[in-house]
A = this chain, B = another copy of it.
């Protein structure tokens, strides 16, 4: 402050214009020195709630704690076991994707997958019988997320299905997911016919046991799944709808152990062909990797970071680090994208699946810049893909140094969605996703882009503000 007071008083007015361009232009036109500041009113949310959170002295440190746990989490492949054993999943219970759901509220593909699982487990003799027991409430339905599991699309997990078992050596967590069936007419997209049942049977009788023994052979040197995910981003995958490199890397990691399993050569070859023929095989390893990281950040009071984005085909559900296991739900939107064969927009079911855990973790739609070729699968243009990742940096708390995006000069993926930043910008997280047929039994109809309903974030914001007030 070397300027004498008199000089300051006689100087022309110094104006700081916060976001309102018409005003700053008018002042500048009158010869005033105007400093523009990038500010704009919040896009949604009660201003009192936003002020409450902005002034919460816990918030910065809590979000740092939460996102640092996410960045530090590891993911090792430790076992492959049936859901009955590893989750203690009882008879007559099925897990499903997204927030809690009843049979009555379930969409077509979710109903298809639930029917198929009842038949697969031998609880029903056919679709009509399965529908009867489901409608009668004889089958308990629980979200995968409540069992530290994540399931793509319908995410239906039954006791006889084998699960990847992953462990976070840093925080001690565990997470689980089924084995990926491939694309097209598969249970997770709501198909349940004889072809689907035969594949599930082979996965139960051959694939699961072979993978279990192959993974056991690597007990002293478990596959580092997070490292595979990091490599994929250097190889044109984003880890949600493009898992080509990741699936090949998984095949490379497991194939030497697979061939050493004492099983018929034809079975071994069939396992290698199945993995090699499924470009999404890695997805069910990537999802529990993200789940491990996000679960490590659960229950950090004052943190406004999202820990779950998940959809059950009817509702979209959000959880945050500062609000524990509470779900903030709203009706799910329907993706917009590209369709297989003769399918079109009218055939698509609303958004479904736990796979948005990938975006929650900062990859998938958030890392589309790493995977420009994905626009041929989900729609849009290459510049859109680059711009999407750039935009997601505005919503997130950190850049993940382990998940680098080469074309952005190896910048880390935008990680840790902040509910407050979402409300301030009005930009919703970008998810890219598969599209299930609206009618049970159809299977996949396409892939595309979708966002969570703003209403989920409005509720989360209000709940976080209420918690903040209560914590005073």
Contacts and interface: CB of A to CB of B under 8 A. Distances in A.
Interface of A: 231, 234-237, 244-245, 248-249, 251-253, 255-257, 259-260, 265-266, 268-270, 272-273, 276, 372-373, 375-376, 381-382, 406-410
Query: How many copies of this chain?
Result: 2
21 contacts: A231-B244, A234-B236, A235-B236, A245-B245, A248-B248, A251-B251, A251-B252, A251-B255, A252-B276, A255-B255, A256-B269, A256-B270, A256-B272, A259-B269, A260-B266, A260-B269, A372-B407, A373-B410, A381-B409, A382-B406, A382-B410
Among A234, A244, A269: residue with most chain B CB under 10 A:
A234
A259 B254 CA distance: 13
Contacts of A237: 235
A276 B255 contact: yes
A255 B235 contact: no
A229 to B, nearest CB: 14
A207 to B, nearest CB: 14
Contacts of A372: 406-407
A270 B260 CA distance: 10
Nearest to A217: B269
A37 to B, nearest CB: 31
A259 B252 contact: no
A83 B255 CA distance: 30
Contacts of A265: 259-260
B409 A407 contact: no
Contacts of A252: 248, 251, 276
A200 to B, nearest CB: 22
Given A235-B245, A409-B382, A259 B268 contact: yes
A15 B260 CA distance: 78
Given A235-B244, A251-B252, A376-B410, 8 more contacts: A235-B235, A235-B237, A244-B245, A245-B248, A255-B272, A373-B410, A382-B406, A382-B410
